[in-house]
Structure 1
Amino acid sequence: MKPLPVYQQIADDLRKKILGGPLRPGDQLPTEAQLMEQYQVKARATVREGLKVLVNEGLIAPQRPRGYFVVERKRLVYRPQAEFRRKPPEMDIFTNLVAQEDGRTPSQDIEVSIVEAPVAIRERLGLAQDASVAVRRRVRRLDGVPYNINDSYTSLDLVQGTDWMHPGDVARGTNAVLAELLGAELEEALDEIYIRMPLPSEAQRLELGPGVPVGEHIATVFSGDRPVQVTVNVVPGDRHVIVYERTRPADAEKRPRIPWGAQ
């Protein structure tokens, strides 16, 4: 077997020390000169290539001019099933979840706009090709650090002129607004989860470094058989653990919905 390039061997050894050895979150790595001596290489570029591998994997980050440090992340437990849990009316799901988890200070930026329905959203909502949708775009933060993109889409005809369009926190929750408009609770949802690299716009909104993958959770909420809202959640892979709690359904033979466009 052909031996690995030296820079890859350096990256592999440092990775082992980060994932299960002496290098802990927040620790500073040895300097480039020290690494050259430690791994007996003459070219500084070789060490830099090894460090670049770990930067792209999201394991270390440069803090110029001090050097490289092991990335320190406190992961947030992300529970898609929390959508239907009872919660204090003045607190949204994200705020309530964080308050219970770890005491960090949550905040969110909210922007409401009217757009032409993207194809993926239009298909899930069963809308005509030229339909307009309302979208609530949110970036949710913990202690000022972006942790979650949460963009909700619904038919403009359904929510125009209602609190759903308010560009701020809706005290009773947007799901409650939809339930009032429809005269029925929203009690069923289809969840789709995709793991991928972020789009440039997502990396910018989440302030992501290179090499950080994201989880995309698309939740389509139904009123009876009618799809009424699609929410696209994008969570950085280095800041979350996705947790599902499962119970056996009362109707085990119920036919599952098929995700639109799923391969």
Structure 2
Amino acid sequence: MTVNRLGRNPMYQQIADVLRAQIDTGGLEPGAKLPTEAELRDEYSVSRETVRKALGILVNEGLVVSARPQGHFVRRRQPMVFRPQAEFRERPYTPEMDAFVTEYSAEDREPRQEIEVAIVEPPTDVAKRLQLAPGDLVAVRKRVRYLDGEPFNTNDSYFPLSIVRDSEIMRPESISRGANEVLAELGHRQVRALDEIYVRMPVPDEVHRLDLGPGTPVGIHMTTGHTVEGRPVRVAVTTLPGDRHVISYERRREMTDEEA
């Protein structure tokens, strides 16, 4: 791929296209340093502003990170596979490690999470899904999950305060058997979950919690858990940066008697 001063696209866009192609084809491997601004100016006979616009495009796309004064580097990518269907599977975890920490420790990555617990008035969308009356409060467990030191996603789980008060859910620490099992022990086992997925640009709080770069979209996975009686008892909101995740669903078709 070459640049053309008489081309339809401006020079900074063409330079970005050339560098992007080198990243996509492996010419610039993860962790590789890009040519310096001075080298790019000389190579393409353009101004510093043009070079900076080109590099800015790649930074906004999440392909390149700026590490001044060292320069710009191809971003290392090792996406986290997010599996919503695993939520209700059996959890043979150790007392010290919950599902997230256990799964990614087994992949030779370094997981950790920060947990906060608070009693709050629920956001409107959460109150609606939990079918709460005006003035009802919820307990929220807010987690930021890290892999290899980088914040990968947030998981905020909301519970009607009336059913989880004084339970383990109110403690800001990992629950090895999972909050779902605690709810079951409290008499509110979930047998059905409604999953909703939204994709949008992040709000400022999400940018701060996840240290998001400019132009990074997020996926929002919202799960509402219901008991056998149909009562909603938990809403979990997971925020997934688009440059750090692959969402994986497994589906199976039920076989007919003739096919079995």
- Matching residue within 93, 97, 115 for 2:103: 97
Residue 203 of structure 1 aligns to which amino acid in structure 2?
V
Residue 239 of structure 2 aligns to which amino acid in structure 1?
V
Q: Distance in 2 between matches of 1:141 and 1:61?
A: 18
Q: Distance in 2 between matches of 1:16 and 1:214?
A: 24
Query: Which ranges of structure 2 fall in alignment gaps of 5 or more residues?
Result: 1-5
- Please give the TM-score of this superposition, normalised by the length of structure 1: 0.89
Residue 80 of structure 2 aligns to which amino acid in structure 1?
L
RMSD: 1.8
8 Å CA contact 2:144–2:155 kept in 1: the answer is yes
> What aligned pairs does 1:1-263 form with structure 2 within 5 A after superposition?
3-41=8-46, 43-89=47-93, 90=95, 91-100=97-106, 102-182=107-187, 185-224=189-228, 225-248=230-253
- Give the C-alpha shift of residue 249 in structure 1: 5.3
Percent pairwise identity: 53
- Give the C-alpha shift of residue 243 in structure 1: 0.6
- Give the C-alpha shift of residue 2 in structure 1: 7.8
Inter-CA distance 150–249: structure 2 relative to 1 (3 Å threshold):
farther
- Please give the TM-score of this superposition, normalised by the length of structure 2: 0.90
Q: Distance in 2 between matches of 1:106 and 1:249?
A: 36
8 Å CA contact 1:83–1:93 kept in 2: the answer is no
- 4+ residue stretches of structure 1 with deviation over 4 A? none
Per mean C-alpha deviation after superposition, the further-off stretch among 209-218 and 53-62 is 209-218
Q: Distance in 2 between matches of 1:26 and 1:195?
A: 28
SS at 1:152 equivalent: strand
Give the count of matched residue pairs.
248
8 Å CA contact 1:26–1:72 kept in 2: the answer is yes
Cα deviation, 1:29-53, whole Å, max 9, x if unaligned, reads 1111211222232x11111111111
Residue 56 of structure 2 aligns to which amino acid in structure 1?
K
8 Å CA contact 1:117–1:130 kept in 2: the answer is no
- Give the C-alpha shift of residue 158 in structure 1: 0.8
Query: Which ranges of structure 1 fall in alignment gaps of 5 or more residues?
Result: 252-263
Residue 160 of structure 2 aligns to which amino acid in structure 1?
S
SS at 1:228 equivalent: strand
